[in-house]
Amino acid sequence: MWVVDSAYRNGGVDLWTKDGVVSKVHYDYNPPFFIHFHDPPAHHDMIDTLEEWYGAKECVIRTIFGDLPGYSVYAGRDVAEAIEQQAQFDVQLFNVDVRRDQRFMAENGIFPCGAEHDSRYSPEFPHDLDIMEIQVHDNPALSSVCSDVEVMCEHTERLTGQTCDVLADLFSLVKSRNPDVILMPDADTWMPRIRKEAQKHGFAMPFSRNGKYRQMDARSYWSYGRVEHKESALIPDGRILIDTEQSFVYQEGGLEGVLMAARLSGLPPNLASRFTPGTLISSYEIYEAVKQGIAVPFRKSEPEMIRHISRLQAADRGGMMFQPVPGIYENVEEIDFTSMYPSIIVQFNLSPETVGHSEREGFLPAALRPLLDLRITTKRLKKTDPRFAGIDSILKWMLVTCFGYTGYKNAKFGRIEVHEGITGRSRDILIRTKDIAEEMGFTVLHGIVDCLWVQGPAVEMLKQKVEKEIRILTEIEHFDWIIFQPMNDGFGAYNRYFGRLSDGSVKVRGIAARRHDTPEFIRSMQGKMLKVMAGAKSIAALKDKKEEIWNIFKDAVKRLPASDMKALVIHRRISRLTYTHRCLEGAAVQAYRDRGIEIAPGMKIGYVVRDARRYAVDTEWDAATFDLPYYHALLEKAGEEIAFVFQTQPL
């Protein structure tokens, strides 16, 4: 029984499983939530009513902090929230908002995208899913109809013409091929429009295996200091539909990454592909808690401990960084700790219930240990087998966000003291690693949170000593040469560098070729420069490339006036819809409005600057002219990032 999809419907859980063919099994399931009254006698009337109306029964609630006396109540979230209000929040609620299909699977040892007796933590999980790819060639931002669709299954078919004819042929192909997985760019944008057109023409939309769809609403939200936007979505029953253009999980991990995210989180792959790594790691922790019989709190209720301001200042300092001296360096080693923050959680037993009680075995370390072991395995496997690269990427992102989740105000299993404890130990680790390196005769050039750049011989001996003392695995990357860029004030930038690795590739961070808002024309120019530089194994050889690189820049300047408009588009993720000061981004938002295109905070927009001095821009589809001096300045700035190599002496 290989679980393809799950949903809570009609008072129970529907599991869609594949054993040759996909079929649905329904399980009646009506689990209770749990409630702990801080002062039961004060709420005896409410308890009596809950017993009479909802069959509430006394029970023991197991939490990560210990057992609590309470009641199991067979009702929904609306009743739980009414209890909170009436009790003036003098209660603790558990398992109120846990997804019921996820809870059912956790309680029964089942997980998505896996069969009975499989291990959730196996990096290999064979499947025989039938896959179809659908590409709508119409522009989703400008067109509401499908007139040009390409379908790839056993062979490729191109469907063109009137929308009703195209949809009729598309629906016929989906029905006849009956795929288990549909990969479709901008699926979440197109699906509501396709349904509307299908209803208009009296067609039955066949993407769901039972005709039912779950609705996800569009929303904008803050994540790691920036606004993100999630489109609304229609989730089909019994079939996996992945928006390959908008899904971060798919773009990072491919189909295998989506399936692994579903296995670990206990969420069906339709949801796993649409959620962020932060939601996936929190869902993973919830699944683990339910599986172990630990109640999941509805509201976070552990207050931050009262501390003297000096202790707070000492604790709340974030990760450690060493500022580099800008310049070019030869034969540099980068020492990178593997999943440092989750490793610290596991090694130092950091969890909300172990704050002040280090003798306890923490829930978070126990839950993250197998995930960390799996990451170490996939990181090793991907070096010889690219099949594991996508899975490794998803594990990396889930483990990265588990640290941030410990400090999230609404985290089910988070606490700010744990968050601070992790960063505090990471600072100690980086400083101690620096000391070890210097004791062994290495020169430390730079350091950022979980990695260090050093110069010196016998780096393997350094690696062994660091791993023995710190007890966290490390990876070594050798740079034949590396350039640390300067900031405007002349000091070294923390996160802007590039260099040639021993395999001949160039690792790039922070410069134009890496930034998302760089126009393609400029990205291409800098990419050509870096490709030439990759051919130089030493600083001396690199200096000999100066004229060839300068010629690339001069050629770009020459070609700029006749450049294709598409290569000059600037892509930005907007954080707001109203702007108090005039700016190019605000002008672009207005240009989208004038075009009749709905936008929301967190969405990406594309525009071409027509006149920078007057803040005049055009949408990427309407641009006919551009501000040559403005783009020339961007080109020069990108060129200067490379030219810095030839303006500095080797260090």
Write out pLDDT tens, residues 49-92.
999 999 999 999 999 999 999 999 999 999 999 999 999 889 99
- The pairing of beta strand 321-322 with beta strand 443-448: antiparallel
What percent of the chain stands above pLDDT 90? 80
* Helix (H) or strand (E) run with residue 585 in it: helix 584-594
CA 402 to each of CA 3, 185, 260, 414: distance values in angstroms, whole numbers, following the listed order: 26, 29, 17, 9
* Structural tokens at position 197: 């057109």
143 burial type by CB count under 10 A (0-12 exposed, 13-18 middle, 19+ buried) = middle
Segment 636-644 mean pLDDT: 94
| Residue 433: alpha-carbon gap to chain centroid | 29
Would you state the pLDDT for residue 310? 59
Across the chain, what does the average pLDDT equal?
92
Write out pLDDT tens, residues 173-187.
999 999 999 999 999
Q: Residue 94 forms beta bridges with which residues? A: 34, 297
Tell me 325's DSSP state: P
Residue 488: closest CA among 496, 476, 498? 496
Segment 330-334 mean pLDDT: 96
Token look-up 């580099």 returns: 324
pLDDT over threshold 80, residue 342: yes
Segment 233-259 mean pLDDT: 96
| H helix intervals, 450-545 | 459-470, 520-534, 539-543
Identify residue 83 by its one-letter amino acid code. I
pLDDT over threshold 90, residue 649: no
The whole-angstrom separation of Cα 178 and Cα 18 is 13
Of the pLDDT bands very low, low, confident and very high (cuts 50, 70, 90), residue 159 is very high
Question: Rounded to 10 degrees, what is the CA torsion of 106, 112, 115, 117?
Answer: -30
Segment 513-520 mean pLDDT: 95
pLDDT over threshold 60, residue 651: no
pLDDT over threshold 90, residue 262: yes
Question: Rounded to 10 degrees, what is the CA torsion of 589, 591, 595, 598?
Answer: 0
Write out pLDDT tens, residues 383-424.
999 999 999 999 999 998 888 767 666 788 888 888 888 999
Token look-up 């990357």 returns: 477
pLDDT over threshold 60, residue 315: no
Taken in order of first residue, the domains within the chain and their CATH numbers are: 33-94 (no CATH), 116-291 (3.30.420), 314-510 (3.90.1600.10), 564-625 (1.10.132.60)
Longest alpha-carbon distance in the chain: 86
Supply the DSSP string of 554-577, one letter for each residue. Answer: HHHHHHGGG--GGGGPEEEE---S
Instruction: Give the list of residues 6+ apart from residue 75 with CB closer than 8 angstroms, or none.
Output: 32, 33, 54
How does 352-373 read in b/e, with b if 16+ C-beta sit within 10 Å?
A: bbbbeeeeeebbbbebbeebbe
Segment 97-106 mean pLDDT: 97
The whole-angstrom separation of Cα 31 and Cα 23 is 24
Identify residue 313 by its one-letter amino acid code. Q
What's the distance, Cα to Cα, between the start and end of the chain in Å?
A: 61
Would you state the pLDDT for residue 316? 60
Nearest 5°: the CA angle 444, 336, 261 is 160
Write out pLDDT tens, residues 181-204.
999 999 999 999 999 999 999 999
The whole-angstrom separation of Cα 115 and Cα 142 is 43
CA 484 to each of CA 328, 391, 449: distance values in angstroms, whole numbers, following the listed order: 7, 31, 17
Residue 425: closest CA among 348, 477, 351? 348
Identify residue 203 by its one-letter amino acid code. F
Q: pTM for the full model? A: 0.92
Contact call for residues 318 and 468 (beta carbons, < 8 A): no
Work out whether the CA dihedral 304, 308, 309, 313 comes out positive or negative.
negative
Would you state the pLDDT for residue 490? 86
Would you state the pLDDT for residue 575? 87
Of the pLDDT bands very low, low, confident and very high (cuts 50, 70, 90), residue 503 is very high
- The pairing of beta strand 570-573 with beta strand 604-611: antiparallel
Write out pLDDT tens, residues 275-294.
999 899 999 999 999 999 99
Beta strands (DSSP E) in 213-299 are: 213-216, 219-223, 226-230, 233-236, 240-243
Segment 517-531 mean pLDDT: 97
Beta strands (DSSP E) in 10-155 are: 12-19, 21-28, 33-37, 57-63, 66-73, 91-94, 131-136, 148-152
Would you state the pLDDT for residue 225? 65
Residue 475: closest CA among 336, 378, 339, 377? 336
Nearest 5°: the CA angle 25, 244, 397 is 90
